Every structure is written in C-alpha cells, then in structure tokens.
Structure 1
Amino acid sequence: MSPAKKILSVVIPTYNMEAYLRRCLDSVTRDNIPSSLELIVVNDGSTDGSLAIMQEYAAKRPDIVNIIDKPNGHYGSCVNAALKIATGKYFRILDADDWFDTDGLIKLLNEIENISTDIIVSPYKKIRKTKTIEYKPKQVLYNHAYDLSQESIWANQDFELFVMHSMTFRTSVLRDVKLHLSEGICYTDNEFLIYPTQMAGSIIFLKSLLYNYDMTREGQSMDPAVQAKNSGHLAIIIRRFTEKIDKLGAFSRRFCLRVLISYYYRRLFACVDDKELKEMDRLVKISAPYLFKDVDAALLHAPSLWRRFGLHFVFYEKLKRVFNIDR
C-alpha cells in the first residue's frame, strides 16, 4: 500500500527537552491521528535523552514521525532543516515544551482537505502559573476565506492572536518567498510570521483550539532572565526587519507592528542595555515612523515615558494592572 499523502507538516525543534518531549509527542501520535500528518522532530544537538525519546515515538508511529539529528544551530536552523524535506500541503511549528490539543489537531487535518488559503489561524491557549488565557478570532466568520487586504477582519483582533502558536502556512508560500530563518540566535519565530506574508493573499480562521503554549517552564526564551541574557538576539531580528520594511506589504507590516510591540515590551521589561534600546528606537523611528507611533499608543505610551523620564518596566507593570493588560 502506498504511503498516505501528507497534508500537514509539523516541525518540532528540540534541544534538551527530555522532561517535556513525551507530553508534546503524546499529543500528536495518538493512534487515531491519521497518517496524513507529517511530524519532523529535529534534535538540535541535545545532550540529554531527547533523541532516544524521539526514536521511541518514531518506532511507535513510523508512518508520521521523521527525525532529523543535527548539530546545535538554534531554533531557526531546525525550521530551515524541516522545511527542506517537508511534503505536507501546509507547514507549522510546535515547540517541544508545548503540546497540541489532539482532538483539535484531528479536526484541523480533516478541515485542511477543503482549505486552500495561504494562512490558517487557529485559537491557542497561553498557560501561565497564575492563569490561562485563550486567544481566538473576534467578529469573523469561521471557515470563510478572506482576502488579506480586507480591513474589516482586523478591526477587533488582538495582536496576540497572530503569533507562531496560531499560524499555519501553505508550504508553497514558504518556498515561494524562499523562507530561511536566521540561525544561531533566538526569537526567529518572528521571522517565520513576517516574511511569508509578503507572498500570502488569503487567510481563514478556524474555531477549534489547537495549540497549548506553556509559559510555566523556567529557562524558556520568554523567561525574564533569559530575555535579559539574549536581548541582543531580538535586537538583531528587529534590525533586519527595519532593513526590509520598505519591501513588505501592508499585511506584513501588521505583523511587524505586533513584533515591535513585543520587542519594546521585552526591552522595557529587561532594561539591561539602554544604549541598545535607544539604537533600536532610532532605527524604527527612521524606517517606520507610522509603526513607531502605533507601538507607542499600543503600549500605553510606556516607550515615550521611557524616552522622556527613563521609566522602565516597573512603571509599565502598574499600567498593566490598572488596565488589565496581558501581553
């Protein structure tokens, strides 16, 4: 019997994740998950037992699990390696310390059969130690193909909806744009969001929850201490965005705005290098003054307060509590 045609390729970048990898792989290898799924689990030079766990699941579901074992090159290198061999109609990322809602995954696989848009957006949960928040589309028709230029679909959307955890791209779009994420640094999931939208023309919103984003693990890239340590990595990403922003379409610029909001938030939080933040501030103001103003407004003018008075994240945290903001 010929192998099943793959309709969704999922890359799982993995570096020393033996404590979490089983939870992740259990969610995507259940017996009733169809063989139309393609899992590309990338061992990024792990020094723990991650590779052995991958091999265990490859033996359990050889019809869907593929392993790439390579030297460490960071997150972007894992996505790049997986995209080279992906055969699915659509492509997306699942972090090894997160997991899919299995029923949501099965439903997505069934729905993809009748979807042809460039982008698919699915609801996801952000799981913190104190609360869990579900991000889902607002005031849109589910399972309806929209043109990306249709302004009405963006009016009420939360910027936090458009992140790696919610986004699935048609594989041909990623290849048409010659997607290649930066290697050797963190936060390249932002590149995965922005660069493909240059070639995308259509989007569909689905109703079923797919992704569970676990923010409780210490040492992850969003951990404040790790953000402070790797602040230069995000600065590199933003610098590359500012160099290319004139070539981006309107929809790509929406994603740039989301990333810039995230950037200022992180930098105001870590506040470890004012010189670096001032340089990024200058680059954004010069290259994208319209986004510069939007970022300031979206962050309740915290960047302006930083520029004028040197107020950092402690002040912004108070604003967050007053206005019930969760970013």
Structure 2
Amino acid sequence: MEQEIMVSISCLVYNHAKYLRKCLDGFVMQKTNFKFEVLIHDDASTDGSQDIIREYEEKYPDIIKPIYQTENQYSKHISIGKTYQYPRLKGKYIAFCEGDDYWCDDHKLQKQFDIMEMNSDCSMCVHRVQDVSECGELLNKFRPFDEPVLNKFDLNEYLKFISNGKFHPFQTSSYFIRREVYEKINMDTPDYAKISKVGDVIIVLTSLTIGKIYYLSAVLSNYRICSVGSWSARLKKSNDSIVLNENNMIDVLESFNEYTKFEYDELLNEIILSKKLSVYILTERYKLLFEKSNRKLLKKLSYKERLFYFLMAYFPWLMSKYLKIKGG
C-alpha cells in the first residue's frame, strides 16, 4: 500500500537559477518518517531555472512535481497559490520556501511535523531564520529580530509581540501550516485576504484565527537578502513601493479588525498607527503628525524626533539650510 503524503512543500520560482540548486537540495535532503512532495511553480523563468528543475524532477520523480509556465502569471495578477498550488496539494500540512531561500537542517520537516502532531491547538509552526547575502555569505542577522518570550502564542499575544517590534517577524521559509489554513485562504477567502498584496501576512493572520502558532528557536532555514526578483529587492527600488505596501497593510489590518469583530481593536489600532507614522514620514507629510487626531503618533517618537519633524513641517527653509550645512 502506497504511503500517504503528509507534507506538501510549495516552492515558487522565477529566475532563481543562481540560487535554485541550494533550495532544491534543501528539500531532497530531508530525513522524515513520512512521505512529502515538492510542488514547484516556475513562472516562465528565462534564466535556465526550468532546466535545473527538470534535472531534479528526473532524479527525484516521486518528490519533485513542477509546473512550467510559458507566460508569466504574476504579471497577469493571477494568484499562483489559489490557481496552481492549492488544487494539487495532497499533504495534511504545507511548508513554504521560495527558490532563492533554502533549508539548512535535514530534519526541519520532521521537527515541525512532530510539533504539530503533538500540539493540536496549533495551526502553524515557525522557527528562527538566518539571513544570507545575495552571494550566500551568512550574516549575523536573524528573523525574528527579537525572539518571542513564549514558544506558543495566540492572536492576542502575537499582536502584543508585533506592536512592540517588527510587523512581519517570521520569514516564509519557516512556515509550516495545517491544510485547513490554506483551505480557508483559498476556498473561503476572508475580505482582509482578498485585498492583501502580501500572502505571507495573510497566512499568519489566518492561522491565528484558527489556532495558535508554535515557535522554534532553532535556525532551520536561510533567507537570501535582495536576491534577483525577490520581494525585498522590489521594495528597495523606491519609497513609492514601500508606501504602497504600508498603505495596503493598513487596509488589511482595518479589514482584519472588522473580521475579528473588533475584539483586538486597541492592539490593531496601535499597529495601524505605526504604519501611518511610517507613511507620513516617507511621504514627507510632517504636518499630519501634529494634527489632534494623530497625537498618539507623537508618543511613538522621541523628543528629538518630534522636534526634527516639527521643524521639517513648519520651518522647512530653515531645515533645508541646516541639512545642507550638516551635509557639507
């Protein structure tokens, strides 16, 4: 009797030839007591990525299961996950890793699988991730930047955690979720998920509406910074991209607040305020910081920062001279 597939790995590839072997090796080296599959979606790569995938497909036909696009689907605004990945997955659990990142522990899947099997109240398991440079050098930088005190947390505890630090603390190559989470996102899609331009955040938020998240402090994968075609590289192109992303997250969080019937209103509004603060500063709309309705924003700034933005808002000519002198 053929063994049932327990874990489906979703791997999205686009022009990742430079890094792809490292990624695929991280999959096929996994040592597990269960069967798993790797669902690769290549979005019409032009750099030889498809040749590399075919090589691994031929060598590991029971594991590597690719789709080779001839036209780029992302540029057509087609949801890759919903259209191509979700319909073919067979696993009880789903893990994620894009083609430029890689897993560095050959028991990663087994460790997360065991945790989820032992913690039925958890809908997701994540772990610590170490950054690597575009050329593969290990960096002294980890995600999350600040580790959570708890190793298991619910939505309320998660919102408290991110309200004091980075909004998106966990990296996608660490995601390991129950199938029910992906089903909810793709089959019974909540409004907050429909408007989001970032799928990673939606996976976390949706997981927390179903159960808790379990956090492993061990480094089991690596995240490549600013690789060709990556989200981080696209965001670095201009402030405009960052502003669009921040405004979209504000919309998502406001919609999520409605979805959760405002049960977490105070925490969500604190996070939304932080994002508005970021947008006002990036777009140089400093006067908005000093409006009565935005007094809470000022509390997030130091006295020195408040003074700086006050002068930028009301005495721009003076600050222009000061910055010119300071810059030499």
Q: Taking structure 2 as the reference length, what is the TM-score of the superposition?
A: 0.68
Residues 101-112 of structure 1 correspond to what in structure 2 (within 5 A)? Answer: 101-105=104-108, 106-112=110-116
One-letter code aligned to 1:88: G
Q: Is the 8 A contact 1:77 1:182 kept in 2?
A: no
CA distance in 2, matches of 1:278, 1:88: 52
What is the distance in 2 between the residues matched to 1:274 and 1:189?
Answer: 28
Q: Is the 8 A contact 1:93 1:164 kept in 2?
A: yes
The Cα of 1:191 is off from its aligned counterpart by 3.2
Aligned 8 A contact 1:126 1:133 in 2: yes
C-alpha displacement of 1:190: 3.0
Q: Secondary structure at the match of 2:51?
A: helix
Secondary structure, counterpart of 2:46 in structure 1: coil
Matching residue of 2:322: none
Alpha-carbon offset, residue 65 of structure 1 = 1.8
What CA distance in whole angstroms lies between the structure 1 residues aligned with 2:63 and 2:96? 15
Instruction: Report the TM-score when normalising by structure 1.
Output: 0.68
Paired residue type of 1:15: Y
What one-letter code is carried by the residue in structure 1 that aligns with 2:81?
V
Deviations, residues 167-217 of structure 1 (Å, cap 9, x unaligned): 33222023134348669x9644333333x1463232222243222111153
Contact 1:186 1:221 in 2 (8 A): no
- Deviation per CA, 1:275-295: give whole Å up to 9, x if none: 8x999x9xxx99xx8xx9479
Q: Secondary structure, in 3 states, of the residue corresponding to 1:309?
A: helix
Q: 2:17–2:49: 8 Å Cα contact kept in structure 1?
A: yes
Query: Which of 224, 231, 234 pairs up with 1:214?
Result: 224
Distance 2:280 2:131 in 1: 21
- Is residue 2:18 matched to residue 1:19? yes
Name the structure 1 match of 2:123.
118
> How far apart are 1:79 and its partner, in Å?
2.5
The residue number in structure 2 matching 1:139 is 149
Distance 1:27 1:193, change over 3 A: same
Q: Please list the CA deviations of residues 258-281 of structure 1 after superposition, one character each: whole Å capped at 9, or x if unmatched.
A: 68857865885xx4x558x999x9
The equivalent of 1:88 in structure 2 is: 91
| Cα drift, residue 20 of structure 1 | 0.9
Size of the alignment, in residue pairs?
A: 294
Using the alignment, how far apart are the partners of 1:295 and 1:79 within structure 2?
40
Return the match for 2:249 from 214, 234, 238.
238
Note the alpha carbon deviations across 1:39-80, whole angstroms, 9 max, x for none: 111111212211121122122222222212333233972332
The alignment's C-alpha RMSD in Å is 4.5
Flag structure 1 segments of 5+ consecutive residues without an equivalent: 312-327
**What is the letter of the counterpart of residue 199 of structure 1?**
T
- 1:41 equivalent to 2:44? Answer no
Per-residue deviation, 1:93: 2.3
Identity of aligned residues (%): 19
Max radius of gyration: which structure? 2
Residue equivalent to 2:324:
none
